[in-house]
Amino acid sequence: MDGENLIIEMELPGRVRSDIAISLVGDAIEVSGNGKPYKDGAEIKVLVKERTNRSFKRQIQIPHGIDFDGGRVAATLQEGILRIILPARSAADDHISITIE
């Protein structure tokens, strides 16, 4: 927590904004993404791959007693790090989509 803001950070290497969806649903932030198949060159033999092309979905509960302004939630994606900032709110919103800048 940063003063009045709650900050969520996730590592999402290789993902772009269009691959990721973020929603504020009740008392939780939901982050999901679609996987894309990747191809290695036909002449390259890979011993180990440490990357995934799978879809994912994470739901992060907002701590009890903390209320956030869904209309001012901000998200950025830089160098594979997704950062979501939730500022304090005055009234609860049921479901809000969040755009990644």
- pLDDT one-digit tens code per residue, 35-82: 766 665 566 777 887 777 788 999 999 876 565 666 678 899 999 999
Q: Does domain 6-36+48-98 have CATH number 3.30.70.2860?
A: no
For residue 42, give Cα distances in angstroms to 5, 39, 45, 46. Answer: 48, 9, 8, 10
Instruction: Give the single-character DSSP code of 18.
Output: G
CB atoms within 10 A of CB 6: 18
pLDDT for residue 86: 83
Instruction: Give the single-character DSSP code of 33.
Output: E
pLDDT for residue 68: 64
Percent of the chain topping pLDDT 90: 26
pTM score, whole prediction: 0.70
Q: What CA–CA distance (Å, rounded) separates 76 from 24?
A: 15
The domain segmentation of the chain, as residue ranges, is: 6-36+48-98
